[in-house]
A and B are shown apart, each in its own frame.
Chain A
Amino acid sequence: MNEQEIFTFIKSIITDNEDITTFIPNEEIKVEHRLVEDLGLDSMNLMSIVYELQEKFESLDESGISHWKTLLDLIKAIQEL
């Protein structure tokens, strides 16, 4: 999957999860947005996103949550698998 496809996939996970609300409407989310400060995600939100991603990308390590600052960091971690 390329960057755009992973990005769209992550956005669909966020939209489909009724417990996650972001500061920014889904259609305005950009790859450079920061996960915590810009989108308002907490570690439980991030963990559920990562668990969803792991259904497709099994080797994605959730310990990266402490290091990923932006959506692009997460996308890059997936691309590097």
Chain B
Amino acid sequence: VSYLKRFLNSQLTLEGKVVAPKELQEQFILLEKQYHSVNLQDLVYIIDKDPIKMSIKFFSILDKGHVPCLLPSHTTSYQLEVIQSNCSGHLWKDDQFEYAQKASTHMTESCYAVMTSGSTGLAKMCFLSVKNAFLNAQMHCDSLKIGKKHLIIQYLPLYHSFGIVCYLFTLLEKQCALDFNINFLGIKTLNKRNFNKAVLHLSPSQTRFILKERADLPKEIDIISIGGGFIYSHELQQLQKKMHHQNLYVSYGMTEAGPRISSAQYHSDWHDGELGRAFSSVQCAVLTSEHKVSLSGEGRLIIKTPCLKINTTDNDFINDYYITEDQVSISSSGSITLKGRLDDVINFGGINIYPQDIEAAAMKIPQIKNVICLKKKNKTYGETPLLIFTGNTTKEKIIKFLKERLNVYQVPKEIYYIEKFPMTGLGKIDRQKVKEWLNEK
């Protein structure tokens, strides 16, 4: 049975309103007219504001033997240019199918592609097998006890590796129901919706939003899973108080892992960073400070990745393990505890923002001589980007320029001018001294 057919026969709602199978079929027929025949295994980028159309395109491209890659609807033309120069592909954007003379990928099995980092120069494309996506969806559902009678409420991005597996492939795997949403829903809005049993995936920032709301979560939501960033035990405790009989989980994963690694159910003596044991499909170990691979202990998390292809270098691997950015400790029983992340990545509410992406885009402003991007603590989002520059321009001009090239959340809202950057002996900007300057300021 084709993936698309299974999707079209699913129980789907859009912002709480039922989408009839006939309506879906009509949308599919209209979309099929836009499709341009391309070679097998060609990469096809998909951009669509409408999550249902985006999903139809995704499964239809998979069925045809091509490799779909979902991109956010706010992808700018500049970002597209960079993405295409890194990994060329056809583009199915809204109602247009743009044929590319040369599209990449030479995969031997059914797969989809996911962009894992920022999209302005350091984009990393992962090719993940569909077979593994189903396996990962199944493990994710089993650990959270998601069943056929559940409605999964979607509002975390569909184009993430998380969204593809935990919404789209889960829907096909479990034959449950899926509610697509364009915007985030607070408790107040959730209480207006009608459903019997529902699952909610939340990012840490969304959890913090919900914690601020006075109302309790509807009792029909019986599973809540939080992932995509660090969540403190006191926040989990507060959330548990707002819930009736829900099961609360902390989920952990990353694109290269296909993408889920573990889910741990919240309990009363929870410690910060607890992630539970890894699913059987993902092998985890640590890279110690002595640069040794160990199945337990403290160090950088390394994983045997089910990824078919990643545009990485040999330095990213050790003994076939992919070296991640996360610092963890693994107990002798295999329980993982997250200790932190490598310093420079900005975790904006679960989305990784790479300072280099912002710096690379800002350096394209002719009046800017030098620039660095740092992170700033934010109560809701965890961290937000902040920019410091030398050169003859203004904050307003920088924001205008960056907005045309980056996603909105990547554009720093705080920008500072510095007359001269402190430099290290090696001629690099001394980030530590800049941080001190900023603190004084």
Give A contacts to B, CB under 8 Å: 18-19, 21-23, 36-37, 40, 42-44, 46-48, 51, 54, 62-63, 65-66
Count residues of B near A (Cβ-Cβ below 8 Å): 26
CB-CB < 8 A to B5: which residues of A? none
**Cβ–Cβ < 8 Å partners of B233 in chain A:** none
Given contacts A21-B413, A21-B414, contact A44 B205 (CB under 8 A): yes
Q: Considering the complex of A and B, which 4 residue pairs feature the smallest CB-CB distances, nearest first?
A: A43-B183, A19-B380, A43-B184, A21-B413
Q: Tell me if B206 counts as interface (CB < 8 A to partner A).
A: yes
Shortest Cβ distance from B206 into chain A, in angstroms? Answer: 7
A46–B186 Cα distance when bound, in Å, is: 11
B378 located at the interface, meaning its Cβ lies under 8 Å from any Cβ of chain A in the complex: yes
Tell whether, in the assembled complex, residue B209 and residue A47 are in contact, meaning their CB atoms are under 8 Å apart: yes
Shortest beta-carbon distance from A58 to chain B in Å: 11
A-B contact pairs, 12 of them (CB 8 A): A18-B379, A19-B379, A19-B381, A22-B413, A23-B399, A23-B403, A36-B408, A43-B184, A47-B185, A51-B186, A51-B188, A62-B188
The answer to whether A47 and B184 have CB atoms under 8 Å apart is yes
Given contact pairs A19-B381, A37-B408, enumerate 10 new A-B contacts (beta carbons under 8 Å). Answer: A21-B384, A22-B413, A40-B411, A43-B182, A47-B183, A47-B184, A47-B186, A62-B186, A65-B183, A66-B15
Say yes or no: is B232 at the interface (Cβ < 8 Å to chain A).
Answer: no
Closest to A21 in B: B413
Residue of A with least CB distance to B189: A62
User: In angstroms, how far is the closest chain B Cβ from the Cβ of A39?
Assistant: 10
Task: Give the residues in chain A near B188, CB-CB below 8 Å.
Answer: 51, 54, 62
- Whether A46 contacts B411 by the Cβ 8 Å rule is no
Q: Is the Cβ of A66 less than 8 Å from the Cβ of B183? A: yes
Q: Which residues of A contact B206 (CB under 8 A)?
A: 44
Whether B437 is near chain A, meaning CB under 8 Å from some CB there, is no
Identity of the chain B residue whose Cβ is nearest the Cβ of A63 in the assembled complex: B15
- Interchain nearest-CB distance for B266 vs A (Å): 23
Give chain B residues whose Cβ lies under 8 Å from the Cβ of A46: 183
A40 to B74, CA, bound (A): 12
CA distance in complex: A19, B383 (Å): 11
Q: Which residues of A contact B381 (CB under 8 A)?
A: 19
CB distance from A43 to the nearest CB of B (A): 4
Q: Is B409 an interface residue (CB 8 A)?
A: yes
Q: Which of B184, B206, B409 has the largest number of chain A CB atoms within 10 A? A: B184
Chain A min CB distance to B18 (Å)? 16
- B195-241 residues with Cβ-Cβ distance < 8 A to A are 205-206, 209, 213
Chain B residues with Cβ below 8 Å from A42 are 184, 408-409
Q: Report how far A63 CA is from B155 CA in the complex, Å.
A: 14
B 398-419 binary contact with A (CB < 8 Å = 1; else 0): 0100010000110101100000
For B185, the chain A residues whose CB sits under 8 A away are 47
Task: Please measure, in the bound complex, the distance between the C-alpha atom of A37 and the C-alpha atom of B402, giving whole angstroms.
Answer: 11
Cβ–Cβ < 8 Å partners of B184 in chain A = 42-44, 47
Listed residue (B189, B349, B384, B411) with the most chain A CB atoms within 10 angstroms of its CB: B189
| A46 to B379 Cα, complex, angstroms | 17
User: How far is A22 from B414 in the complex, measured between Cα atoms in Å?
Assistant: 9
Which residue of chain A lies nearest to B404 when distances are taken between CB atoms in the complex? A37
With A36-B408, A62-B188, A66-B182 as known contacts, state yes or no: A44 contacts B380, CB within 8 Å.
yes
Q: CB-nearest residue of chain B relative to A36? A: B408
Given A18-B379, A23-B411, A66-B182, CB of A48 within 8 Å of CB of B209: yes
Which residue on B lies nearest to A28, using beta carbons? B396
- Chain B residues contacting A21 (CB-CB under 8 Å) are 384, 413-414
Flag if B413 contacts A40 (CB, 8 Å): yes
Residues of B within 8 A of A18 (CB): 379
Closest chain A residue to B381, Cβ basis: A19
Please give me the residue from chain A that is nearest to B400 by CB atom: A23
Q: A19, B411: Cβ atoms under 8 Å?
A: no
A41 to B79, CA, bound (A): 20
Once bound together, how far apart are the Cα atoms of A67 and B378, in whole Å? Answer: 28
Q: How far is the CA of A19 from the CA of B376 in the complex (A)?
A: 12
* Chain B 368-404: CB-based contact to A (< 8 A → 1; otherwise 0): 0000000000111100100000000000000100010
Alpha-carbon gap, A19 to B409, bound state (A): 14
Q: How far is the CA of A48 from the CA of B409 in the complex (A)?
A: 17
Determine whether the beta carbon of B413 is less than 8 Å from that of A44.
Answer: no
| Minimum distance in angstroms from A44 CB to a CB of chain B | 5
